[in-house]
Structures are given as C-alpha cells and as structure tokens.
Amino acid sequence: MSQPIDHRTAVVTGAGSGVGRAVAAELAAGDWRLVLAGRRGDPLHETARLCGTGAAGTAVVPTDVTDPAAVDALFAAAVARFGRVDLLFNNAGTFGPPAPVDELDVAEWRAVVDLNLTGAFLCARAAFRQMRAQDPQGGRIINNGSISAHVPRPNSVAYTATKHAVTGLTKSLSLDGRPYRIACGQIDIGNAATEMTAAMSRGVRQADGRIAVEPTMDVTDVARTVRHMAELPLEANVQFATVMATAMPYIGRG
C-alpha cells in the first residue's frame, strides 16, 4: 500500500519556474510536503509562496544539480526536514543554444549534457539511495523527458541526445528499482506554455526550414499528469507518458 498522503515528501528540481513551479503547486494542492531545488533562491521562494503550503510543508534548498556534493546536501536536507523522500520530480534542464552540429561548441555541448543528463543521474542516484534505505522502503522517480526524446527539432543535437539518454536512465532505474519498491516513469512534454517555449508564439524553425508559429498548451495540464503519476500506489506505474499541445507538429513532424 502507498504512504498516507500527509506523509508524502517530494523533491522537485528546476522548481523556480515553468514546469517545475507548476508541478510544485499541483503537488501542494494534494498536501504533499515539498523540497524545492534550483540554482537561485529568490525564484524558489516565490514558488513556495505561490504553493501556499506554509513553512512546515516546504523547504527551499538552492542547488546546482551538476554538483555531486550539492545534490547529496539537497537530499540530506530533505531527510533532515521531513524524514524521508517519496518522490523525485527530476525536472531541471536546459535547451542550450540552437546550432548546427558542426558549429556547436564543445563547451556548450558539455553544459547541456552536465545539466540534462549528469544532473538527472546525480539526483536519481541520491533519491534511489534514500528510497532504498528508508522505512517503509521505496518511492517514485519521475524524469522529465521531452518530445525530443522521440523526434528532434532542427539544430538541437545536444538537447535531443540528452533527452534520448534520459529515456535510458528511466528504463535502467525502473529495472534496478524493482527489488526496493522504487518505481520510475518519464513524462515527455510538448509545447507547454512556459518561459522556455515563449518563442513558439513568434515562430520557430520547422524540419523543412520554414519558421512557423506552434500551438501551446497550459502548463497546468502537465502538472496534473505528473500528480496522477506521483499518486499511484507503488504497485502501479506510468512508465512513459506524452503530454502535448494537440495540434503541435509531432505526429507527422518532418
């Protein structure tokens, strides 16, 4: 059986804006206790204010998820405050600068890989370690993939490669977590209206080279899906979910 709802604690990375903020607010509405992580403290405190969970239900922990020591400190703070970790929403990421593959600087490639892949691994590793050790044992990891985990956009080699790799991370975590009641799923998001997708309203490059405006969807629709995944009993798992703007160029892209 799953934990009583008032005992559930979620770590949300990239919680200072966009999808992370929306998911934090949705979990707060379900009485989850929250540990909000991101690079900058001020946006995290704003998320905490918007969640309205009160000081007892929210911890703000500024964290660079590419730093192993900082990630370990994040999860130590979560356990010190709330006693356990029941959910990691592994959300922190960046698109990086769009560029043709032969023009992408290696430093820019590494920055995207460090955040989107290594950061996701470090957070998953720390969550897995805690979930395996705690009593009752277990928990859930939800990785933020992308439509790009299936099909790329032009000039997105670093982002697309990392999101394909996140799918491998999800599958490995699912397999390795089975003996310890650790479930892992992935949500692949397409054109949620956030700061990251603001360019959609002005027009973005398509596979045939055209610049076209793309439809977007409300980010709260993503958040509701994450909450559904999160609140399943550990005996059930949404392995992969795709949530996208209905009319965006995905089916038939190219």
> How do residues 179-213 score in pLDDT, each as one tens digit?
999 999 999 998 887 776 677 778 888 888 888 87
Instruction: Specify the DSSP class assigned to residue 217.
Output: B
Instruction: Specify the DSSP class assigned to residue 149.
Output: G
> How do residues 58-116 score in pLDDT, each as one tens digit?
999 999 999 999 999 999 999 999 999 999 999 999 999 999 999 999 999 999 999 99
The residue annotated as part of the active site, out of 27, 113, 159, 177, is 159
Instruction: Specify the DSSP class assigned to residue 117.
Output: I
Give the pairing of strands 87-90 and 204-205. unpaired
Going by C-alpha positions, the residue among 46, 143, 157, 182 that lies closest to residue 98 is 157
CB distance 85 to 135 below 8 Å:
no
Task: State mean pLDDT over 135-140.
Answer: 97
| Catalytic residue check, 159 | yes
Tell me the whole-structure pTM to 2 decimals: 0.92
- Which amino acid type is present at position 158? A
Q: How many CA atoms lie within 13 A of 69 on its CB side?
A: 0
Q: How many CA atoms lie within 13 A of 125 on its CB side?
A: 15
